[in-house]
Structure 1
Amino acid sequence: MIFSSPDPAGDPYLARAVLSLQRASYAVEADLIGDHRLPPLQEDQHQLAAWRGRWVLAWDGVDLVGAVAWSETESHLEIEKLMIGPAAMRRGIGSALLGRVVACASGRRVLVTTGRDNVPAVSLYRKHGFAHEADVRVPPGIWISRLALAGSA
């Protein structure tokens, strides 16, 4: 596994590859929660490239198999997206990417939201020490769970 930290805004080919991965990954979540109106499935290449934050991408040779994107402030990091290609799921890529984000936290609080009924994602975060904080119903009726890394500031 090779990790890189490019900005998709700087490379249209990379932005297309990340968008393709995002659509495939979030389609799995949409099936799990029973709603295909998830914002990452509505995003286009320009919206993806316009987002300003940090990225780490996971490559298996020349194949993009995973990505994580987060924003950060002085007090916390917020994981915005964690995506794994369906063919690469259950190979530890999500754990490896999550570890990269946590390593950047430097003691700051780490937050994430995911579909409440996305059992694999909730299980991944709990396995890495995240604790459930709240369930929130977001328009138009999608339930999400907010989790925070236990022990983070």
Structure 2
Amino acid sequence: MIEKIDHSSLKTSKLIYNIFQKSYAVEALLLNHDDFPPLKRTASEIQQSKTTFYGYRHEEELCAIMELEINENHIHIRSLTVAPEFFRKGIGYRLLCFVRDTFKVDLLSVETGHDNFPAVNFYLNFGFKKNKVWMTEVGIEKISFTLSSQP
């Protein structure tokens, strides 16, 4: 079940933090990068974020988080994280479908590490198009994708 979640509560921000820590630890390994910025984000920073969070629950357990920056005609997916024990169960796909079908915007965008091949293939298979590749100041090569509702 997908639901909007109140990240301003300390209890919920800690749940989000725990999922982020588990999921981003896997991405850091895939990218072979010890100094991975998403792992430095605190529960307090999550709690104070101005973004919108949706969660996916499996049998009442929060097992995936999607963080969105919602604008009038564009949504940027700041994070789409699934707890590793729930990988490859279609949860990420359901979250993307939810955003695409719920918010009638012209453009969806998302970024990931260039060498995070599971995520890169996931977005490409969903229909996202590669937008650009760049090197971050911490030495991580990133790739951005867009999905347009326009033909």
TM-score tier, shorter chain, comes to over 0.9
* Identity within the alignment, %: 25
Query: 1:24 aligned to 2:19?
Result: no
Q: How far did residue 75 of structure 1 move? A: 2.9
Query: 1:48 aligned to 2:62?
Result: no
Partner of 1:126: 124
In structure 2, distance between residues paired with 1:57 and 1:152? 28
Partner of 1:144: 142
In structure 1, distance between residues paired with 2:150 and 2:52? 19
Contact 2:106–2:148 under 8 Å retained in 1? no
Partner of 1:89: 87
In structure 2, distance between residues paired with 1:94 and 1:152? 23
Coordinate RMSD, CA, aligned: 1.4
Contact 1:55–1:70 under 8 Å retained in 2? yes
Structure 1: gaps (5+ residues): none
Partner of 2:107: 109
In structure 2, distance between residues paired with 1:151 and 1:106? 8
TM-score (norm 2): 0.94
| Amino acid in structure 2 at the alignment position of 1:5 | K
| Amino acid in structure 1 at the alignment position of 2:25 | A
In structure 1, distance between residues paired with 2:27 and 2:51? 22
Structure 2: gaps (5+ residues): none
How many residues align structurally?
A: 151
TM-score (norm 1): 0.93
Change (3 A) 1:152 1:65: farther
Contact 1:76–1:109 under 8 Å retained in 2? yes
What stretches of structure 1 move > 6 A for 4+ residues in a row? Answer: none
